[in-house]
Structure 1
Amino acid sequence: MTLSQYDYIFAIGTCFALLDAYNNGANDVANAWATSVSSRSITYRQAMIFGTVFEMLGAITVGARTADTIKNGIIPNEAFQGNAGVQMLAFTCALAAASSWVMWCTKHSAHVSSTYSLISAVAGVGVATVGASQVQWGWNEGKGLGAIFAGLGMAPAISACFGAIIFMLIKLVVHIRSNPVPWAIWTSPFFFLIAGTICTLSIVYKGSPSLGLSSKPSWYIASVTMGTGAGVALLAGLFFVPFVYARILKKDYTVKWYMFLMGPLLFTRTPPADAIEARVPDYAVVQHADEDDESTNSPDSITEIGEGKTTDSNEKRLVTAETNEASYKDLMQQGQDKFHARLRKKAGPLGWAMRTLHENPMGPGEMYELNNIRILLIRIPAMLTCGLLYGLHYDIHAAQSGISGTPEGERMARVYAHAKKYPNEVEHTYSFVQVLTACTASFAHGANDIGNSVGPWAVIYGAWSTGSAAEAKASVPIWQLAVLSATISLGLITYGYNIMKVMGNKITYHSPSRGCSMEMGAAITVLVFSQFSLPVSTSMCITGATVGVGLCNGSLKAVNFQRVGLLVMAWIMTIPIAGTLGGVLMGLFLNAPSFS
């Protein structure tokens, strides 16, 4: 192969690595944050900010370890016999197969694991390139396919156990009390302790290879980890507890968010005379609002869904629709038209873009007609603006709960009916804890799943820059981790809503106390697997934790097993499809006729 061919393969491989990272953010990371958004602990836009920060932190400080497994654990570097060109082509084909499959699934709101998509594609490419005998099918010191696919069954089960244990602890300590609100407030530092300890442990225990933390003695690791967790708990006791004590127990609605800096002084603050109830958000999953409520942002709703409305019960009725007068497809189209009409009324850039697209439809004839070319030049900037901002205005909750009168809406109503609803004051306390657990889960995802894209890209870059296949054994540069983690965040921001709308409350009833349990269970599992250099699907972990917490309601009917079954089927189908795509693509390139 000539140098120009090396450059060509490197350029294509880089494009597919970026596409794989983008799909990872739109699929796996969106699923990880769906729990927080579904619980109403955090808005979609806030999730984008926190997700970006902590994904990059996890990827840069810890992510290189699982990248090494992707690089060298499945196809031994020696199997390429020093042929850097074939090695570059192999990992490029693997990225192309995995990213194409995940992109198709994300487009159709079918949630799959990007981790197992890439691993399966690498295995398929390995069979086509060096033969099945060279692929590490066994355990291979925890880096072979046997160890990796063992996580397919182990990770969801372990996450379910961790999530259920944490939520049952919350139930025993808080929810079963006759007056649970004070218990929720005074015990909250303990859960901050857990979250802070786990997040610190993921950095300090063996840490990032570039930081040299793996050589630290055990006493150092234990002291720093527990010390940081205790410090977070202490800060929660000094600032968070007085803050929620004043807002919830004293019902002081004049306390602003920045007043947490007053710390213990809030204990002595005198509330207004008309402070008769705590003014906290309504954490009910399904809420009803008036027809002209501007907060509606979902194309999947017919009637509006918003926050802060009160009725006689915590749980609001599902959005209603007359299914006997229109088909399900017609109802969905009506909802989308109504949603787009609202967006066109907005004053910002998205409103401008939606109005531009609405007022400049493509004319008759082919796209290359002169009139259509002029229209297309007007539409392109608006299309790009919509692509960047559309998801930020999407109402995830409305899409998750479904439309009353349709089979899905009725199914979700039955699932929600078997979940006990806890006081909003209690859930409000755990909404703050869930912000920290969500950031921990995002950190864990960045630490583990960044290896999906950066491992093959590091191989391609190393072979291209040195001309030697041996470079694949080198460590992953920090700049590659940073670039791909930023691309993951871009996927979450611009297209993550497409997966979020079919996750979260589509499986079981969500609330902040449940959500933080799910996220902590998933984060613990991901970090444990990451420390042993085992790529594991964050999506599978959060799904397992969600099912585990859902079963804590005491009934199998509290979990939508139809959705869980579809998820499991998609996970299983990913392995042969991605593997076959990668193997066939590599086989075509290797056996293509040469006319030189």
Structure 2
Amino acid sequence: MIISLLLLLSLPASMPGTLVSFSSILLKNADIVGANDVANSFGTSVSSRSLTMKQAMLVAAVCEFSGSVSVGSRVADTIRTKIVDPHHYDSSPGVLLLVMMCTIMSSSLFLTFATRHGLPVSTTHSLIGGLVGAATASIGITKINWGWHGVSQIFAAWIIAPLIAGCMGFVLFMFTKNFILTKPTAVRRAFYSIPFYTYLTVGALTMLLVWKGIHTINLSTRDIVISVFATATGMTLLQIFFLLPFLWTRIMHEDWTLKWYHVFQGPLLLWRSPPPPTPAGFTKPRIRDYYQGHLTREELNHLRTSETLLQSIQTPDGQLPDLDRDDEWILPPPAQTPPKTPPGRFEPRASSEFIPPRPDGSWNSPKVMAWKVNRVLLRGLEKDVVAMQKRNNILNWDLEDMHARSAHYDNRAEYMYSALQILTAATASFVHGANDVSNAVAPFTTAYQVWSSGEIPQFVAIPIWILVVGGACIVSWFLYGACECNHGAYGDEAVFTRIYYAVHYGSYGGRRAGKWGLEMY
């Protein structure tokens, strides 16, 4: 709010090329919204290793864009007209254009700073504050709609929405924990509970689409209810028909020959022949170990006792050993210093450990050029975020102790929920696209209307091309995770680090439950 107020006061009364400048700011604001918020949806899927970061980004790109284009206009209208009445600027439409530009500019500046330093801020809070500040500087604080249908409703939603989502998430997880995960038959119970959770998730998403996404057809309450229940029932039946036989064969029958495309065989998998013995020297594929690398309480106590003894040992230079480095231990000095990186070659760093090394050849060879493109544009997609979190001493607190205190459940039961977790994450991503695209396109829509007509119209529907541009910019967030994650704080990596704790312990999820509350472990 302060940033937007200062920006508006510092701008001249007339600015040439305002819409052109505004368009570039729109692009910046939309993709910084994606860089800050998109990981909220898929952080649990990545931190629990249900998806790799690359897979999560690709799925999120589709869901974010679909949500912004299909449902974004309804949400955008709230910010565009209900915080400040545009008709306060009827006598000077150009000032309204500048107000909207300062709103997005201030939001972009603050979000860039917050995302760069891994601060858990809200893009909606930033935009509302920017709009209130710019409106205060232009028409005065008394002209802002502070009533229930304006700012007060948004303020209340910041408290009510996390509480509701947090309570729902608490109830769902406690039910799953006490009636499924802690039971001796946890695997079978998890298997039979999947359709129930799928029905809830698909029903919620369908309700959003039918209730808020359809603009050209006026549906009655009866039509909406029928659409929601019919779609949820149909999708659940498809899952029972195809996915559940696949999971049963893979987990209960331990069929190591099963491939992902066998899911389309559906019930025929139940009559599949038993798998043959594994050949000599062949490593049998196993269910992913979700607790790999995490110590129990006894193991952690033993390790820290050993570390305490090691800390009493002085290194040759008289300094205490740096035990926070997980890849360095107290060893005798090497016989010789390793050679430095040859000139012109890329020196590996912590942020580039998961990028393939530079291939041999001249700088303009196809292999080297392809490697450079991958390094610049797709850098964030190649990161093992879960492993890198252990190297981030600023954000990880006492991560080992948290894992040691957490309960361990049957690994096969947790695997049953992998597909469901991806579905819930995709749903949350879709809702995020529908909600947060308004942060970018709502002020721009108002400015575009003023620029194109020279006046403030009574009501104009948000053009579909603006939603498309906003959605496309939001899904370009992965470039930030790719190019600016060197310090483990920019873009998705910082948010993934925060969500990593929530998925295991729920302590952080309480504060951000509005976006994570419905995520299953």
Structure-2-length-normalised TM-score: 0.79
The aligned residue for residue 542 of structure 1 is: 515
**Contact 1:126-1:135 within 8 A present in 2 as well:** yes
Q: How does 1:186-225 map to 2 (within 5 A)?
A: 186-209=192-215, 211-212=216-217, 215-225=218-228
Separation of aligned partners in 1, 2:84 and 2:444: 15
Rounded Cα–Cα distance in structure 1 between residues aligned with 2:327 and 2:109: 31
- Deviation above 6 Å: which 4+ runs of structure 1? 275-278, 320-323, 327-332, 381-384
Gaps of 5+ in 2: 1-13, 312-319, 329-346
Q: What is residue 443 of structure 1 aligned with on the other side?
A: 430
**What is the match of residue 160 of structure 2?**
154
Q: CA deviation at 1:97?
A: 0.5
TM-score by length of 1: 0.70
1:122 matches 2:109: no
Mapping of residues 61-72 of structure 1, within 5 Å:
61-72=70-81
Matched residue SS, 1:443: helix
Give the 3-state SS of the residue equivalent to 2:38 in structure 1. helix
- What is residue 585 of structure 1 aligned with on the other side? none
In the alignment, does 2:446 pair up with 1:459? Answer: yes
Q: Does 1:164 align with 2:167?
A: no
C-alpha spacing 1:105/1:382, structure 2 compared with 1 (3 Å): farther
Whole-angstrom CA distance in 1 between matches of 2:255 and 2:195: 21
Deviation sequence 1:133-166 (CA, Å, 0-9, x none): 10112212xxx11111112222222221111112
In structure 2, what residue type is equivalent to 1:261?
F
Q: Check 1:246–1:352 CA distance in 2 against 1; reply closer, same or farther (3 A cut).
A: farther
Maintained 8 Å contact 1:36/1:434: yes
Counterpart of 1:296 in structure 2 is none
Provide the residue aligned with 1:282 in structure 2: 289
Q: Displacement, 1:500?
A: 3.5
Structure 2 letter corresponding to 1:325: P
- Count of residue correspondences: 462
Instruction: Give the letter for the 2:269 counterpart.
Output: L
2:461 match: 475
Query: Residues 160 and 338 (structure 1 numbering): CA distance in 2 closer, same or farther, change over 3 Å?
Result: closer
Residue 321 (structure 2) aligns with: 325
Q: What is the root-mean-square deviation of aligned Cα atoms in Å?
A: 3.8
**Residues 270, 328 of structure 1: CA spacing in aligned structure 2 closer, same or farther, 3 A cutoff?**
closer
| Aligned equivalent of 1:487 | 473
Q: Which runs of 5+ in 1 are unaligned?
A: 289-311, 357-377, 523-536, 551-596
- Give 3-state SS (helix, strand or coil) of 1:470's partner: coil
What residue is the counterpart of 1:345 in the other structure? 357
Q: 1:421 to 1:116 in 2, by over 3 A?
A: same
Taking a change above 3 Å as real, the CA distance of residues 345 and 383 of structure 1, as seen in their structure-2 partners, is closer
For residues 508-550 of structure 1, give each alpha carbon's deviation from its aligned partner in whole angstroms, at most 9, with x where no partner exists: 6566xx79x99xx99xxxxxxxxxxxxxx9x66235667xx89
Partners of 1:330 and 1:90 lie apart in 2 by: 50
The answer to whether residue 263 in structure 2 is matched with residue 251 in structure 1 is no
Match status 1:394 vs 2:395:
no
Pair 1:343–1:385, CA change in 2 (3 A): closer
Structure 1 residues 195, 507: closer, same or farther in 2, change over 3 A? closer
Code of the residue aligned with 1:31 in structure 2: it is N
For residues 179 and 102 of structure 1, do their structure 2 counterparts lie closer, same or farther at Cα, with a shift above 3 Å needed?
A: same
For residue 502 of structure 1, give the secondary structure of its aligned residue in structure 2.
helix
Whether the 8 Å contact between 1:278 and 1:425 is mirrored in structure 2 is: no
How far the C-alpha of 1:444 sits from its partner, in A, is: 0.5
TM-superposed deviation, 1:454: 0.6
Residue 60, structure 1, aligned to residue 73, structure 2: no
Q: Which residue of structure 1 aligns with residue 273 of structure 2?
A: 270
Q: Distance in 2 between matches of 1:352 and 1:187?
A: 55
1:94 Cα deviation after fit:
0.6
Determine the C-alpha separation between the residues in 1 that align with 2:39 and 2:499: 15
Give the secondary-structure state (helix, strand or coil) at the position aligned to 2:249.
helix
What are the Cα deviations for residues 111-133 of structure 1, in whole angstroms up to 9, with x where unaligned?
A: 31111101100000010011011
Q: How far 1:259 sits from its partner (Å)?
A: 0.4
1:86-129 residue CA offsets vs partner (Å, 9 max, x unmatched): 11111001111000110111122223111110110000001001
Amino acid at match of 1:425: R
Match of 1:177 in 2: 183
**490, 493, 507: which one aligns with 1:501:** 493
Q: How much identity, in percent, do the aligned residues show?
A: 30
1:227 and 2:239 are equivalent in the alignment = no
- Give SS of 2:406's match: coil
The verdict on how the C-alpha distance between 1:32 and 1:82 changes in structure 2, with shifts beyond 3 A counting, is farther
Whether the aligned pair in 1 keeps the contact of 2:294 and 2:404 (CA below 8 Å) is: no
User: Is the CA contact 2:100–2:443 (under 8 Å) kept in the aligned structure 1?
Assistant: yes
Matched residue, 1:9:
18
CA gap of 1:331–1:21, structure 2 versus 1, over 3 A, is farther
Partners of 1:126 and 1:132 within 8 A in 2:
yes
2: CA distance, partners of 1:348 / 1:192: 49
Q: Give the secondary-structure state (helix, strand or coil) at the position aligned to 1:190.
A: helix
8 Å Cα contact 2:43/2:495 also seen in 1? yes
SS at match of 1:163: helix
The aligned residue for residue 112 of structure 2 is 103
Amino acid at match of 1:345: P
* Distance 1:508-1:11 versus aligned 2 partners, 3 A rule: closer
Residue aligned with 1:27, SS? helix
* CA–CA separation in structure 2 for the residues paired with 1:284 and 1:166: 22
In structure 2, the CA distance between the partners of 1:92 and 1:327, relative to structure 1 (3 Å rule), is: farther
Structure 1 pair 286/452, CA: closer, same or farther in 2 (3 Å)? Answer: farther
